[in-house]
Structure 1
Amino acid sequence: MNHQSIAAFIWQVADLLRGDYKQHEYGDIILPFTVLRRLDCVLEPTKAAVLAAAKSTEGMSENIREMQLKNAAGLPFYNTNEYTMSKLRADPGNIDDNLTAYVQGFSKDALDVFEKFDFFNRVDSLAANNLLFQIVDKFCTVDLGPEAVDDSEMGDIYENLLRRFSEMSNETAGEHFSPRDGIKLAVDLVIAGAADDLSQDGKVVKVYDPCAGTGGALSLFDKRVKEYYPNADVYCYGQELNPATFATCKADMMMRGGEARNIAFGNTLTEPAFGDEQFGYQISNPPYGVDWKKSKAAVENEYKNGGGRFAAGLPRVSDGQLLFIEHMVAKMRPKGLGGGRIAVFMNGSPLFTGAAGSGESNIRRWLLEERDLVEAIVSMPNDFFYNTGIATYIWVLNNNKPAERRGKVQLINANGVFTKMRKSLGSKRNELTAEQIRGIVKEYEAFEESKTCKIFNTEDFGYTTVTVERPLRDENGEIVTDRKGRPKPDTSLRDTENIPLTQDIDEYFEREVKPYAPDAWIDPKRSKVGYEIPFTRYFYEYTPLRASAEILDDIKALESSIAESLAKVGL
């Protein structure tokens, strides 16, 4: 069975819940049982060895016993209970007690997964509705072991289920997961510029996702780096706020042999994990257009007390995307230690929302001008994400740009690069093939101007918003002045002009304003520098209007066709 057929089978298990549970509750039950079955299958080959080790280590110190049990399991987790899911089927009458005992037999980190799922309350509820045995029995008929389903396919299954369940509960678009083809592109963009770093023998590679979801970006980065650089030693770190997706991510990390402690639960904006740890690589898909009201007090407090992670500024409270970028920049490995690279998904808002002097504009100015971090921005196809058809972009940030990229930003228009899916998945109707991903990455690596690639100086995105004043006049049309004889401004005639940083303000004013308002002047105290990236404007292609004669011919042909159709029916 492929991952789609397995996901479909598991989805059918949810039909057992119909009538006793509301649709939005299905995921709270099906997802933890999917994880449990995966853990059960992964541990099955070493079950006897673990039980023997559990018996032989009784009375030993906790640390020594845990080390030996993990060695017996061959994994960073284990289960010392005699049951497996299959054995639970032999005693239907005590399924609730036995299942509870079985899950409580997991090692501490694995048990934390089920506590985050609120699993034991789910067991009690299913038992009360006489559904527990049926659910266990159904899951026992599907093989989720690593031989049947590899780690990447298992990740696809988790996200397939999450997508469906989030649609049923109207979850915020893009909040928990990203399509795998998009993540593959983001991963390859990050890796493409890091050959010198990753190719070092025995290189310790740390990758971080502050909005880890189910861990898809982390697992794909791990897999991809090992494909390209087998000698690299990858360590994955992530933080996730949603309990269910955190639990799934942590379980997946353990099953891949990773460190469970490297997956943290909590709010990245208010309770950042991993202290002063910094990372060479970061990949993330923060939630789009989601407010940060719940984090407002803590974020503003950090900003007011020296700035911290958010020293560049605060965006409007209705959209926290740029806060996550600021956080990720703070976690970048310093340039002196090899530098840090980031690939982060954003919608269009961080490109241009916010006038000069706003939090968003100030953050863009900091990223582009002050820190020179933005290396490339790639526009993605529409209808690419599961729960939204809006335009999205991958920002590639680098604090150790090669010489030819310093002070430059590469914009790649991949909006028209996609393959129509035979069957849509939610809002996702377009996908990227492996060949298309390679093509986009090659264009990034080439760093050359083309129809779909443009290269700008960072200052090209900057402008000065100047305030243009006109004099206040009395009823006789005379200019009203202050005590120093200076003309007073008429606030009703006040206007602004956005002047590119690449142009001289005085020359622009004389050329563009003075001919039409000879009495105007600029109030320099009100001038503000802003930054925006009007991505679509740079790739706009004018489509000439059709000739009127051609349109008229089409109208006449259409009229004739309609007349013929009406004549055939006797009208």
Structure 2
Amino acid sequence: MDNQVHNAIVSFIWGIADDCLRDVYVRGKYRDVILPMTVIRRLDALLEETKPAVLEMKKQLDAAKIDNQWPALCNTAGQAFCNASPFLLKDLTSRSKAQTLKADFIAYLDGFSPNVQVILDKFKFRNQIDTMVDADILGAVIEKFTSSDINLSPNPIYKDADKKIIKHPGLDNHGMGTIFEELIRKFNEENNEEAGEHWTPRDVVELMADLVFMPIADQIKDASYSCYDGACGTGGMLTVAQDRLLKLAKKQGKEVAIHLFGQEINPETYAICTADMLLKGDGEEAEHIMYGSTLSDDQHASRQFDFMLSNPPYGKSWKTDCEKMGGKKDILDTRFNTYLDDGEEMSMIPRTSDGQLLFLLNNIGKMKKDTELGSRIAEVHNGSSLFTGDAGSGESNARRYMLENDLVEAIIAVPENMFYNTGIGTFIWILSNKKEERRKGKIQLIDATAMKSPLRKNMGKKNCEFTPEIRKEIIRLFLEMEENEVSMIFDNDEFAYWNITVERPLRLRVYPEREIPADTFKKADELTTVKKAIASVPTDIPLDDWMAFATATKLKKGQLNKIRPFITEKDPTAKPIEGEADADLRDTENVPFTYEGGIDEFMKNEVLSFEPDAYIDDKKTTIGYEVSFTKYFYKPVQLRDLSEIIENLRNLEKEADGVLADIMGGVL
């Protein structure tokens, strides 16, 4: 579509907000009217030509007393939706009385098919009607949207009766979708605190789409493919993915169909996404966008997908979902639990303060295993998914599952301030369950934190972007698996470690003469018996050997446990107590899988040479995984040479002397 036409339409619609809503709504609430009205007007324009036929069909269906009329009416309308009211939107501009206009407008809205009703309900648009009627602006808003100065219809508007001179060209579905997305972007700029939650910057989405599709571009066939986003927001990732795949297929000379699926928990963004699908003519795709929580109410549980792209909420509590699923300890969902090779169950459920990894596991659970391409995933996370959680935690277990099943192709570090509502650094995960041979058993890390172009004007906290040239370079590094200072390739084991518990034996020295409190035992005679037993221990029993002393008393184990705290003290020179560890000397160590010789060699080199009596509690050994970009890409700041510092100090000293001389000369 001509950019000039595109910009003119967006500006006109934006102007409606300024002209009609300024004194009634605060600027941040313009979207509550403008977005649903844009949807309504576009749908109305698409239905205008078939309106008489639809009304005639309704008349016949009513006469035949048919209840479910929508399939037939939509078919007559030639769309995935229809409006069975007697009105077109332009018919309402003739209403002079506010109450008549209100009643007819409500009847008009009620005439839409159920799929449009869902959108209007999620927009909560009916809540705005009274506000507009009371302020007497409803008629003005409708008049603006139906004005001949703007064309949201697929048919052109002509200047002349002979229809030879075009005033406004027709707007196809793609153009309408683009305009709608632009309006969403502008409204998101007005509400920067919310923008990043539901709208991922286009430059990031395009990079993610390229990372998903470019590696398999030459394997695309004449076929149907599916794309899914479990946190789809306004649907931007899905539509960009659709566009990217279609272009790649065309370039390869292939005919493909791509079906979009998504789920969104925010009602307004769900409405925007569904509306966007309808506006683009994707009526079937609109039915694939589900409302609700992907975690606790997965409405695509039985489906698998070819491609998945997502920007899930990170650093956000999923406690409500957790409670709906029965509580953290009782979640049995197979998306978030797995089994090790020995049959042991492994939970991958993270702490309730951050559920982003659950969205990635949800996608993994929807990967196709019986197709040539398998499934490919691109997902944005913050740094928490890389390293939060000790060995054995849900987060570490999730990483373990992904790496031990060789699912991760690459992780790309994104510059800070790339998103609208957060300045923190983020990372793009690229996963595949059908890796090409050269990638098997390996992960590529790309540090793209310095690969950015500054924006002329900040958009919220976003102050930089990926230009097409930068995206092309990142894709090149990825496709060529080039190794350099910003791209490194490692075996999966590089990120694995054993967390071992190093114990040292408890050593106690006995002080038999010390007083035992009277209330140590419930019965007074038991205390007397214990004291006699201690007094009867032969003098040749060494007091630095608790085991020997305890045996000599002939007391029961329970009695010994009660008196030991009172008659002993830790002593590093005493003899070790077999089977008992000193909790105060306990330590944990992380031993990399790549450590030569493994745990035994680590103990020999790093522990036993300093503490010969140390040993490992094998029952506590756990496996962990973490990824640290800092470890591999950190560049220490080059310190200045000492001679350079001294020279600078001398120059400063000379300058100071000169200044002082000038001051003193002025005084004298």
TM-score (norm 1): 0.89
- Secondary structure in 2 aligned to 1:334? coil
Query: By how many angstroms is 1:152 displaced?
Result: 5.4
Residue 130 to residue 299, structure 1, CA distance change in 2 (3 Å): same
Asked if residue 496 in structure 1 is aligned to residue 588 in structure 2, the reply is yes
Structure 1 gaps, min length 5: none
Asked if residue 471 in structure 1 is aligned to residue 505 in structure 2, the reply is yes
Asked if residue 125 in structure 1 is aligned to residue 131 in structure 2, the reply is yes
Asked if residue 30 in structure 1 is aligned to residue 34 in structure 2, the reply is yes
Residue 22 to residue 294, structure 1, CA distance change in 2 (3 Å): farther
Please identify the structure whose Cα radius of gyration is greater.
2
CA distance in 2: counterparts of 1:521 and 1:161, whole angstroms: 63
1:328 to 341, 363, 368: 363
- Secondary structure in 1 aligned to 2:619? strand
CA distance in 1: counterparts of 2:607 and 2:117, whole angstroms: 69
Larger CA deviation: 27-36 vs 393-402: 27-36
Aligned to 1:293: 319
Larger CA deviation: 555-564 vs 231-240: 555-564
Letter in 2 for 1:515: S
Q: Cα deviation per residue 1:62-84 (whole Å; 9 max; x = unaligned)? A: 69964564455443223344544
Structure 2 gaps, min length 5: 155-169, 338-346, 509-568
Q: Sequence identity of aligned pairs in percent?
A: 39
Asked if residue 164 in structure 1 is aligned to residue 189 in structure 2, the reply is yes
1:99 to 75, 87, 105: 105
1:256 to 277, 280, 297: 280
- Secondary structure in 1 aligned to 2:454? strand
Aligned to 2:557: none
Query: By how many angstroms is 1:135 displaced?
Result: 3.4
In the comparison of the two structures, how many residue pairs are matched?
A: 558
Aligned to 1:79: 83
Query: By how many angstroms is 1:190 displaced?
Result: 0.7
Asked if residue 528 in structure 1 is aligned to residue 532 in structure 2, the reply is no
8 Å Cα contact 1:463/1:499 also seen in 2: yes
Letter in 2 for 1:280: D
Letter in 2 for 1:456: F
Aligned to 2:224: 204
Aligned to 1:245: 269
CA distance in 1: counterparts of 2:639 and 2:293, whole angstroms: 52
- Secondary structure in 1 aligned to 2:335? helix
Asked if residue 459 in structure 1 is aligned to residue 460 in structure 2, the reply is no
Query: By how many angstroms is 1:213 displaced?
Result: 0.7
Larger CA deviation: 411-420 vs 234-243: 411-420
8 Å Cα contact 2:504/2:582 also seen in 1: yes
TM-score (norm 2): 0.77
Residues 25-424 of structure 1: pairs in structure 2 closer than 5 A: 25-41=29-45, 43=46, 47-56=48-57, 58-60=59-61, 66=70, 69-71=73-75, 73-81=77-85, 83-93=87-97, 94-140=100-146, 142-145=150-153, 147=170, 150-151=175-176, 153-167=178-192, 170-171=193-194, 174-195=196-217, 197=219, 199-201=220-222, 203-230=223-250, 231-258=255-282, 259=284, 260-300=286-326, 304=330, 306-311=332-337, 312-336=347-371, 338-369=373-404, 371-424=405-458
- Secondary structure in 2 aligned to 1:464? strand
Query: By how many angstroms is 1:295 displaced?
Result: 0.3
Residue 111 to residue 561, structure 1, CA distance change in 2 (3 Å): farther
Residue 18 to residue 65, structure 1, CA distance change in 2 (3 Å): closer
- Secondary structure in 1 aligned to 2:402? helix
Query: By how many angstroms is 1:26 displaced?
Result: 4.0
Q: Cα deviation per residue 1:81-111 (whole Å; 9 max; x = unaligned)? A: 4544444333253432232222222222112
CA distance in 2: counterparts of 1:492 and 1:2, whole angstroms: 74
Aligned to 2:641: 547
CA distance in 2: counterparts of 1:220 and 1:451, whole angstroms: 31
Larger CA deviation: 402-411 vs 209-218: 402-411
Residue 25 to residue 131, structure 1, CA distance change in 2 (3 Å): same
Aligned to 2:608: 514
- Secondary structure in 2 aligned to 1:404? helix
Letter in 2 for 1:501: F
